[in-house]
Amino acid sequence: MILEFIRRFMYGRYGNDQLNQFLMLLGLFFAALWSFVQLGILTILVIIIIGLCYYRMFSRNIAKRQSENQRFLSWYMPQKEKINNAVFRFKDRKEHRYFKCKCCKTYLRVPKGKGKISIHCPNCGNEFVKKT
Ligand SMILES: [Zn+2]
């Protein structure tokens, strides 16, 4: 009965996507922050963010919501990859050292504890000496 009502209500509406999930987490984050510091601005922020989530979820303008989500993903995916790479480098810190090539900004991984070695960047051909 309730499920049927929800199904009928959501028919032709946009529903959930990655941008909404991100907004929900952001809203929860500000709500959690509010429990530590009771600032009025946080309450307003949470209301705006959660309101935006519901607005997008119940929206009938599906094409516009999809293009918003695409724009969000083109910003979010590179950030997510950077974070994942940083986590990987941190977990690997006992085995390898990572150096950033000054020319092309590529991360180069070298084994740890080999003393001073010359590192050759396979991407741009730059060479530099570092202590590992
Ligand atoms: Zn390079």
pLDDT by residue (tens digit) across 74-132? 999 999 999 999 999 999 999 999 999 999 989 999 999 999 999 999 999 999 999 98
Structural contact between residues 107 and 89, judged by C-beta atoms closer than 8 angstroms = yes
- Domain match, 62 and 49 both: yes
- Domain match, 12 and 77 both: yes
What's the pTM? 0.72
Q: Which of 124, 92, 93, 119 is nearest to 108 (CA)?
A: 119
- Domain match, 103 and 43 both: no
CA of 104 to the centre of ligand 1 (A): 4
DSSP 20: H
> Which residue range forms the structural domain that includes residue 36?
2-91
- Domain match, 64 and 48 both: yes
CA of 119 to the centre of ligand 1 (A): 10
Helices (H) and strands (E) in the chain, counts: 4, 4
- Domain match, 7 and 69 both: yes
Q: Which of 33, 37, 69, 67 is nearest to 53 (CA)?
A: 69
Tokens 């991984």, residue?
A: 109
- What is the C-alpha separation between 101 and 97, in angstroms, rounded? 13
pLDDT in tens, 12-60: 999 999 999 999 999 999 999 998 988 889 999 999 999 999 999 999 9
CA of 118 to the centre of ligand 1 (A): 13
- Domain match, 33 and 87 both: yes
Q: What angle do CA 78, 130, 97 make, to 5 degrees?
A: 45
